[in-house]
Amino acid sequence: MQARFGKIRIMSPGQEALPQFRRDLGRGDYWEFKKGEYYLADCPWHCDSGKHLYVSYLFGVWQPEYSTAGYELAHCYHGCMEQQGRRKELFELLYHLGGRGRGPHVRDLEKGVPYVPPSSVDPPGAVVLLKDLPDHHQAVEYILSRGYDPVALSDQYGVGYCQRPSDDYPLMNHRIVIPIWCRGRYVGWQGRVIGEARWAPKYVNWDHFSKSHYLYGFDNATRYKTIVRVEGVSDVWSIGLGSVATFGSSLSTEQAQMMYELVGHDGVLVWLYDMNGKNGDGTPSDEHQQAILERLRAVLPGRVLEAILPVGTDPGSFDQTFNHAFLNGVLRSAGVPWELETQRDTPLGVPPRRVLLPTE
């Protein structure tokens, strides 16, 4: 890639990609690889200089046990990879095979090593808590426009603002900084663009952060009997301290185990669908999520509930008052004898989250 595209960045170095089973009505059953080591490069198809081309180390690698060559494991934020024939063109650029054969075999590549939690986290730059910014600051105004309380986000989740990025993370300039904690340990961060992303990714992650190994909000949720699963970190802010985010629609084995741990022997899990951008009658049609729910129901029989918001919305479309009333209605309909914010008599033993912001 360096020979073809110049300087690249390595994300999640050494991590092995995780196979996930997918079910699609049109395509049928198939396997898809998520996470793992991948490479950021300037995309040559639109004269990019922002490293918006993402290529997994398994791109173009034939894996007979999963009947896939990983051609879907290349993405560009400008949509270049969606154009017909573009992935084949990328394959030929990287492997010099002129389109002949199925490309390299997985045995010809190092597969990476198991994930090891970080002993320390690189700072994104100089960060200040949202509550310590002036009221007219763009980050505070944006947070308020979304219906969130900057003081609560600072106190409960340690959310801040990157005033000056480090040399390693120039894209963190003027972004919302979201520290991620798990089991009392600081394990990574995300940076969210203020407003809508145009020529840059909406979220930037610490290079060594493995989303599939964590749930955002895990430590706070250990105190609650109802665990609400959502997709994104801001969805957690819209629900409250008993919710956790999976950093997307997928659920890894590690995340499923953490949900099982949170629910325990007497709690319930509410799987709250993100219906933003969905069409139709409001019934989720994602077969992959249905397969995930089947796995969870097998280990939590009778204690996995589904909650479906109106089409075209997500938890962030509503304030906490509406979301709590909606979810309490779901609990009552299922015969759950407590309200959403009912706390356990004894938390699950995870150390409380401490507010720790990375600094230069």
Tens of pLDDT, residues 308-342: 888 888 898 899 999 999 999 999 999 999 999 99
| Of 71, 80, 95, residue with least CA distance to 50 | 80
| Of 79, 89, 84, residue with least CA distance to 59 | 89
| Of 27, 50, 84, residue with least CA distance to 287 | 27
Report the distance separating Cα 254 and Cα 211, nearest Å. Answer: 10
Name the fold adopted by 224-343: Dna Topoisomerase Vi A Subunit; Chain: A, domain 2 (3.40.1360)
Contact of 192 with 176, CB cutoff 8 Å = yes
Report the distance separating Cα 101 and Cα 169, nearest Å. Answer: 39
Element (H, E) at 3: helix 2-5
C-beta neighbour count of 235 within 10 angstroms: 25
Tokens for 34, please give them.
């998520």
What pLDDT digit, counting tens, does each position of 111-164 carry?
456 677 778 898 999 999 999 999 999 999 999 999 999 999 999 999 999 999
Measured over the CA atoms of residue 21, residue 301, residue 225 and residue 320, the dihedral's sign is positive
- Determine the pLDDT at residue 97: 44
Report the distance separating Cα 281 and Cα 184, nearest Å. Answer: 42
Contact of 116 with 17, CB cutoff 8 Å = no
Phi-psi region of 240 (alpha: psi -120 to 50; beta: other; left: phi over 0): left
* Structural domain spans, the chain: 2-108, 116-216+350-360, 224-343
For 116-216+350-360, CATH gives 3.90.980
2-8 contacts, C-beta under 8 A, 24 or more apart: 4/44, 4/93, 4/94, 5/41, 5/42, 5/44, 5/53, 6/41, 6/42, 7/41, 8/39, 8/40, 8/41, 8/51
Report the distance separating Cα 53 and Cα 108, nearest Å. Answer: 24
* pLDDT beyond 70 at 359: no
> Quick one: pLDDT band at residue 196, thresholds 50, 70, 90?
confident
Contact of 273 with 284, CB cutoff 8 Å = yes
Report the distance separating Cα 56 and Cα 72, nearest Å. Answer: 9
Same fold, 116-216+350-360 and 224-343: no
* pLDDT beyond 60 at 65: yes
C-beta neighbour count of 358 within 10 angstroms: 21
pLDDT above 70 coverage of the chain, percent: 82
Cα-based torsion angle of the residue sequence 83, 89, 95, 98 in order, rounded to the nearest 10 degrees: 140
> Quick one: pLDDT band at residue 26, thresholds 50, 70, 90?
low
